Amino acid sequence: MSGRRKFIKSGVLGGLALGAGSLPTLSCAREQGDSQKPVVISTWRHGMEANAGAWPILAANGRAVDAVEKGVMVTEADPNNSTVGIGGFPDRDGNVTLDACIMDEFENCGSVAFLQNIKHPISVARKVMDDTPHVMLVGEGARRFAVEKGFKEENLLTPKAEKAWKKWLTTKNYKPIINVENHDTIGMLALDSNGNLSGACTTSGAAWKMHGRVGDSPIIGAGLFVDNEVGAATATGLGEFVIKICGAHMIVELMRQGYPPMEACKEAVERIVRKYKKDYMDLQVGFLALSKSGEYGAHAIHKGFDYAVKSNSQNELIDAKSYTG
């Protein structure tokens, strides 16, 4: 770290600590993760398998962007996961519509939203990033682009998801249940052995959403943001509230000011709580962040959010702290 940067970092933290006694110091910044590389972290329990999918690339000194793409593909391909890829719960009309985005160490980004019939939206997002002058393709345009690039079209509505949808139709009550109906999105962040950061996020979104609804997961700055100078962040939970505060971008900017990853995630959670006092008890949002030096942290509104960490010395699932305890 340059002298100037070091000064800014400790200066900001020192100032914060003086202004509000509960704010972090640099030593507690290490609490949730030592500096280390390579390292990969991802949301929820299924992050363990996804991290295992990403790890061989990181262990072979590969690029973080290749690792995160490969890692989240494991979750997209799992028919038992009801919020990502094949097997995702459909919208209220019975259509499985997928959202995904990816960012690399050069801060290139690619995204697809409201994509149907393609099992690996993350790889379509990667193609948008690598092969087009655009950042985001949606709906029919995204599907056509995917087919042109050789992706196979398939029915993503599994019998299990169809049965759940038909059951929902009997009540038609749209009230996502905390940690249940919207808990499987995968957001993954990695730091490779060259010290470069990348991230990926992929989901079928909120179950029983309106046709055409897009959440935070494919929105650069909301569901995912990477700044290779500073850090990366991703989100899970009810996307409308993540979009409203530009969650992932906010967290990376807080890290730029010197906040450790966990404290930056906590501040984003508290922003939602402060601004949406009437809503927050009924919704879950979880954030996950990774710094340029390999420190990581997470925070959620409610308990129940966990995340997976894999490095040379770790392979574990960690319970995130939460606002409501």
Binding footprint of ligand SD4 on the chain (CB under 6 A): 83, 182-185, 203, 205-206, 215-217, 236-239
**85 and 119 Cβ atoms separated by less than 8 Å:** yes
CA dist 141 → 128, 262, 318 (Å): 11, 38, 39
Closest separation in Å from C-beta 308 to ligand SD4 = 14
Looking at residue 238, the DSSP 8-state letter turns out to be -
Identify the three-state secondary structure at position 32.
Answer: coil
Q: Which two tokens stand for residue 123?
A: 């790889």
Q: Is 185 a catalytic residue?
A: yes
Residues near 214 by Cβ (< 8 Å), separated by ≥ 6?
99, 113, 114, 138, 205
Closest separation in Å from C-beta 183 to ligand SD4 = 5
CA 40 from centre of chain: 12
Closest separation in Å from C-beta 99 to ligand SD4 = 6
Q: Which two tokens stand for residue 71?
A: 């890692």
Give the type of residue at 3.
G
- Residue 88 vs 261, nearer CB to ligand SD4: 88
Q: Which of 43, 158, 185, 236 is catalytic?
A: 185
Residues near 12 by Cβ (< 8 Å), separated by ≥ 6?
257, 258
Could you list the active site residues? 185
